Amino acid sequence: MIKLKKIKLGKTDENIPILGQGTWGIKSFRNKDYYEKWKESIRKGIELGITHIDTAEMYGRGTSELIVGQVISEYNRDDLFITTKLFPMHTRYNTMKKAAYNSLKRLGIKQIDLYLIHWPSPLISIKKQMRVLEDLVNEGKVRYIGVSNFSVEQFKEAQTYLKNTELVNNQLPASITRQKHIEQSLPFYQNEGIIMTAYSPLGHNGYHNLQGDLREKLEIVAKSHNATIQQIAIAWLINHENVITIPKASKIEHMIANAEAANIRLSDKEITLLYEDGRITENLKLISA
């Protein structure tokens, strides 16, 4: 049985799996078999201990939330941690609140565990976005709040507008082939005790077409751990302190492989080998083997 390591969510008392389930790939207007395969995969993830499920109102125009809601209705709500996101097309206070209520309805739950602003928007101030998030916490509709795709400076600004709660998470594009936020943003979140969620950890095609020096290095490390290069790419991310990741898996075999990757411990030397410049950023903290 795979036992997933858990990590504390920011400065809260909440512990969540170091690996979550991404559902970005769930599309709208597909047939019953398509959705049943996704449901089977999500169920398998829950059985493996991947009880953090990430979705968003944008994914499949709400379809992702509906499918996630149908699956999680089969389980004890207290055993699951659900993240969803507010799409920044909503520019008014009331429409943002309504969007959150609609997400709750699609998910079939009374409270969202972690609610994120999906992107900063040029049409609405960060101050207003934070007011909405904090009011949702005060109403009991949301437990914890965070952001997605915010720069460090935007994150800092957002924190200043909160009176009675704090941001616990920033969800950013980070992977073995997109190392910018690991090198430039993660040191800040580690120092502040905030979780960074790496999304799209395997790119959009699972690195099946990856070539060159990085591929060769991944294969060397993978061989020493009897793993695939995809598993090493996932492990590389979560062997950094304060990082979780949310790979999508529409097939059961991929979900199992992801869960196995969560328990791979890389050495400092292996982690450093896979950096683009072959060296680790100063003050970046690793989880050593």
Nearest to 198 by CA among 146, 262, 244, 260: 244
CA distance to 24, 69, 217, 277, per residue, from 84 (Å): 11, 11, 35, 35
Instruction: Find residue 54's DSSP bridge partners.
Output: 22, 83
Q: At 2, phi and psi to the nearest 5?
A: -80, 130
Q: How many of the other CB atoms lie within 10 Å of CB of 234?
A: 27
Q: Going by C-beta distance under 8 Å and a sequence separation of 6 or more, which residues neighbour residue 154?
A: 120, 126, 147
Cβ atoms of 64 and 24 within 8 Å: the answer is yes
Question: Annotated catalytic, 34?
Answer: no
Contact 25, 249 (CB under 8 A): no
DSSP character for 77? Answer: G
Rounded CA-CA distance 126/122 in Å is 9
Both tokens of 81, joined, read 């941690």
- The helix/strand/coil state of 137 is helix
Question: Is the CA virtual torsion 175, 180, 186, 189 positive or negative?
Answer: negative
One-letter amino acid at 147 equals: V
Could you give the CA distance from residue 183 to residue 203 in angstroms, rounded to a whole number? 18
| Catalytic residue selected from 59, 115, 144, 207 | 59
Distance CA 140, CA 110 (A): 9
Q: From CA 140, how far away is CA 227, in angstroms rounded?
A: 43
The amino acid present at 42, given as its one-letter code, is I
Give catalytic residues, as residue numbers: 59
